Amino acid sequence: MEGIRLEINGKGHVVDVSPYKPLRDVLRYDIGLTGTKESCDSGVCGVCTVLLGDKAVKSCLIPVGKMVGEKITTIEGLAEEGEFSVLQQSFIDCFASQCGYCIPGFIMAATSLLIENPDPTIQEIREGLSGNLCRCTGYVKIIDAVRHAAGKEA
Amino acid sequence: MGEYHVASSVEEALEKLSRCEGRAEIVAGGQTMMLLIRQGLVDPDLLVDISKITEIRGIEDVGEYIEIGSATTYAEIKESPLIEKEFGFYTMATSEISGPQVRNQGTIGGGLVYGDPALDTPPVLLTLDAELEIQNAQGSRRILLEDFFVDYYETAIEEGEILTKIIIPKLPKHSGGKYRAMTPRQGDYAIAGVCVRLTLDENGICIVARVGLTNGGDTPMRSKGAEKVLEGTKIEEETIENAVEILGKNLDLIGDIQTPKSYKEIVFKRIARQTIKDVKLELMSDA
């Protein structure tokens, strides 16, 4: 068994798992990156969002066999040398987190959104985050945080 | 342990499928396949991934038609200026699919082969008279999308075949369309969805009407009754009412505790009425 080669947050990993295993479960249980959360198990809630290249995907819907040659980024990969990313800091500054469980997914989706569109309108932020649910329903602060990170007044 | 094979051509994928002794399945974006595996509905020995095959990716203008490779993602369709120019309402409907994450992975072909009557865009493609190209070891065949949907989650694709292309005829002038769905919340599955496409002649008479339905029955479907009522008319108020009544009779609904059949029927009729009116108005203002 040669295992599956993965590149996660710039680091190489080899895992010996079924190629049908969801990427999320490999991240959490085989590699130990538990910042990627699990909840609905059906591609609805968005807590398992990670980046493939610059694009956000739901890691519960990705068979890990598909990941060969992909650059995967999880929430653990956003901070550089102990410094939060602008967006992460913005979530803190804007008090955008209530229970916090959905926040890694929101930050990953918003990171992808801001790469694609660095100056989004409120409507574009809403659409960009429409694949993520916050059951504390703290959406207003989350949108504020993304606006703030984009250099707009929150 | 199952095998996962990332194919680099359709030919190679077909060969890999034919050599598999156990159960083989095709996967593209994985957005439905992963659900099926998790639910235990599919238990493959081999998954052949066709998402990296360049010959079945992308959107092309080939004169009378727009051709979309089956492994093209919803995000690519949503962002395509070509699709937006030719079929703006298809772009709109695509942008309502789930959220960006699913659109980044999910493919047009995957959604069609899944055969789920609850998806938003197959009924839109029905109103566009789309055709499909399917490849197998012998060569390729073409089938009207309308004939592709057989039953609940069942399509006309056979074992050892790959859906490769979706072929959409460009619309004649004086054509327009709209998709409207009622969903519990943005990005969720529709309780009811209606797509209306109309083509008028110089005098404002409807020469082609297409009415596609999401969750109207066991498959993505058309209300041919409503289409027939609309065609040959100027789509007056009374004609719309007649079309909506017949649409109600064409439905083959499954009720559930939150949304009983009687309620769904009201929603369908209301959406259909408004959508027909909207498309007519849009076409009138263009004229």
Spell out which residues of chain A touch residue B30, defining contact as CB-CB under 8 Å.
Answer: 61-63, 66
Residue B108: burial class (beta carbons within 10 Å; 0-12, 13-18, 19+): buried
Domain range holding A21?
A: 4-75
Q: B175-286, superfamily in CATH?
A: CO dehydrogenase flavoprotein, C-terminal domain (3.30.390.50)
CA distances from A141 to A36, A94, A106, A131, B35 (A): 21, 6, 12, 17, 32
pLDDT digits (tens, 9 = 90+) for A25-52: 999 999 999 999 999 999 999 999 999 9
Chain A: give the shortest CA distance to residue B113, in Å. Answer: 17
* pLDDT of res. A99: 97
- Which ipTM did the prediction report? 0.95
A90 and A66 fall within a common domain: no
Chain B: give the shortest CA distance to residue A54, in Å. Answer: 11
Does A80 fall in a domain?
A: no
Does A107 fall in a domain?
A: yes
Q: Which of A43, A63, A132 sits opposite B47 (nearest CB)?
A: A63
> CB-based contact (8 Å) between A18 and chain B?
yes
Q: What is the CATH number of domain B3-49?
A: 3.30.43.10
Residue B270: burial class (beta carbons within 10 Å; 0-12, 13-18, 19+): middle
Q: What is the CATH number of domain B57-169?
A: 3.30.465.10
Other Cβ atoms closer than 10 A to A154:
16
A38 and A14 fall within a common domain: yes
Q: Which two tokens stand for residue B145?
A: 């999308």
> CB-based contact (8 Å) between A125 and chain B?
no
C-alpha angle A122/A128/A130, rounded to 5°? Answer: 100
Listed as ranges, residues in chain B with pLDDT below 50 are: none
Read off the CATH number of the domain in which A112 is found.
1.10.150.120
All structural domains of chain B with their residue ranges:
3-49, 57-169, 175-286
Percentage of chain A with pLDDT > 70?
Answer: 98
Question: What gap in Å lies between CA A69 and CA A74, rounded to an integer?
Answer: 16
Q: Which two tokens stand for residue A33?
A: 């990156």
Question: What gap in Å lies between CA B42 and CA B16, rounded to an integer?
Answer: 18
Mutate to test the interface with A, among B34, B36, B96, B97 (most CBs of A within 10 A): B34
* pLDDT of res. A154: 58
* pLDDT of res. B245: 98
Spell out which residues of chain B touch residue A112, defining contact as CB-CB under 8 Å.
Answer: 100
A91 and A136 fall within a common domain: yes
pTM above 0.90, yes or no: yes
* pLDDT of res. B256: 87
Spell out which residues of chain A touch residue B35, defining contact as CB-CB under 8 Å.
Answer: 42-43, 61
Instruction: Provide the domain count of chain A.
Output: 2
| Inter-chain CB proximity B33 and A130 less than 8 Å | no
pLDDT digits (tens, 9 = 90+) for B229-238: 999 999 999 9
Q: How confident is the model at residue A1 (pLDDT cuts 50, 70, 90)?
A: low
| Inter-chain CB proximity A57 and B104 less than 8 Å | yes
